[in-house]
Amino acid sequence: MADVVRSLPDEVVEIVHDLRAPLGVASGYLSMLKDGSFGLAPEEWSAPLEVLSLKLEEARVLVDGILALRRIDSSESTRMHDDHINLTEVARTAAKRAQPRARLLHGSVVVDAERSASAVAQGDQDRTLRILDNLINNALVYSGKGRRVVLRVEDADGLQVAVEDSGAGIPEERRVHLFEPFARDDGSTEIGSGLGLFISRTLAREMGGDLTLDDRPGAVGSRFVLHLRPADEQRVTDARSA
C-alpha cells in the first residue's frame, strides 16, 4: 500500500490534502457537541458521538499518513510550534481525553508522574498530544481483557513519556517493521489503517525526539516510549519567574 500511495498522481494527493479542511471543521463541531457548547448532549448520545470521533480520527490518520508518505506537510495548520511542554500536564490531558474511549472498552488510563512532576520538554504541544493519543488508543485497543494503560512521565535517560499496557505485547518478528506504514497484523480483527505508529514516529522525530518500543524480555504487555528534548534551561527559568 505504501508503494500505491507513492505512485498516486500529484493531483490526487492535492485532493487528499484539501480533505483536511472539511475534516477539521467536522472535528471542531463534534468537539463542541461533546463539550456542551450547543447545550448539554443527552446521555444516550455519548456512544454515537464517540464513534463519530473515532471515525473522524481514522480519516485524519489516513489523510495524514498519505501526506506524510508524500511529504506534503507545509500548510499553516501543520506548522511546527516550539513550545515549552509540561509533560505531566500533557500526559494528564491525554489521559483525560481517552476516558470516554476507555469506558467504552471497559479499560482504564492513568498517569504516574510522581517522580518527575516538573519535567519540561521543548517541542510542539499539539503534536505531542496526538502522539500520546495514538499510543493510548493502540494500548486500549490491542491489549484485550483488563485493558489498563499507564502513562509514566520519566526523567531518567532524558525526558520521556512511556505508555504501558498489560496486553499480549508484540511478537519479536513484528517489531522490526512496526513503525513502517501499513504494518498491521494480518490476523487482526480491529479496524485501523496501520499508520498511527508511522505518523507518530515521524512527528516525534520532526520535533527532535523519537518514538521507540522498549524491549522488555519476560515483561507483560508493551511499552512505547516518546523521547523529547529537554527545554532550554534559561527559557524555563525565565518562564517560571515571569
Ligand X SMILES: Nc1ncnc2c1ncn2[C@@H]1O[C@H](COP(=O)(O)OP(=O)(O)OP(=O)(O)O)[C@@H](O)[C@H]1O
Q: Which residues contact Mg ion (rule: CB under 5 A)? A: 138, 196
Q: CB of residue 183 vs ligand X: minimum separation in angstroms?
A: 5
166 binds ligand X (CB under 6 A): no
- Of 160 and 193, which CB lies nearer to Mg ion in the complex structure? 193
165 binds ligand X (CB under 6 A): yes
Q: Is 212 helix (H, G, I), strand (E, B) or coil?
A: strand
Here's the x/- map for ligand X, 24-43, by CB under 6 A: it reads as --------------------
64 binds ligand X (CB under 6 A): no
The residue among 149, 156, 155 whose CA lies nearest residue 224 is 149
CA distance 37 to 229: 36
Q: Is 81 helix (H, G, I), strand (E, B) or coil?
A: coil
The residue among 72, 59, 3, 50 whose CA lies nearest residue 193 is 59
H/E stretch holding 134 reads helix 125-142
The one among 86, 116, 193, 202 contacting ligand X by CB under 6 A: 193
User: Helix 46-69 vs helix 10-18: angle between axes, to the nearest 10 degrees?
Assistant: 150
Asked if residues 206 and 126 have their Cβ atoms less than 8 Å apart, the reply is no
58 binds ligand X (CB under 6 A): yes
CA 37 vs. chain centroid, Å, equals 25
- Of 199 and 207, which CB lies nearer to ligand X in the complex structure? 199
Q: CB of residue 117 vs ligand X: minimum separation in angstroms?
A: 25
The residue among 179, 196, 211, 191 whose CA lies nearest residue 63 is 196
196 binds ligand X (CB under 6 A): yes
Binders in 205-234 for ligand X, by CB under 6 A: 222
Q: CB of residue 170 vs ligand X: minimum separation in angstroms?
A: 5
183 binds ligand X (CB under 6 A): yes
Q: CB of residue 95 vs Mg ion: minimum separation in angstroms?
A: 17
- Of 195 and 226, which CB lies nearer to ligand X in the complex structure? 195
Query: Which residues sit opposite 123 in a β-bridge?
Result: 83
Q: CB of residue 212 vs Mg ion: minimum separation in angstroms?
A: 16
CA 179 vs. chain centroid, Å, equals 13
CA distance 242 to 240: 6
167 binds ligand X (CB under 6 A): yes
CA distance 56 to 95: 19
How many residues touch ligand X under the rule CB under 6 A: the total is 23
- Of 81 and 205, which CB lies nearer to ligand X in the complex structure? 205
Q: Note the residues at the interface with ligand X (CB under 6 A).
A: 58, 61, 134, 138-139, 142-143, 165, 167, 170, 178, 183-185, 188, 192-198, 222
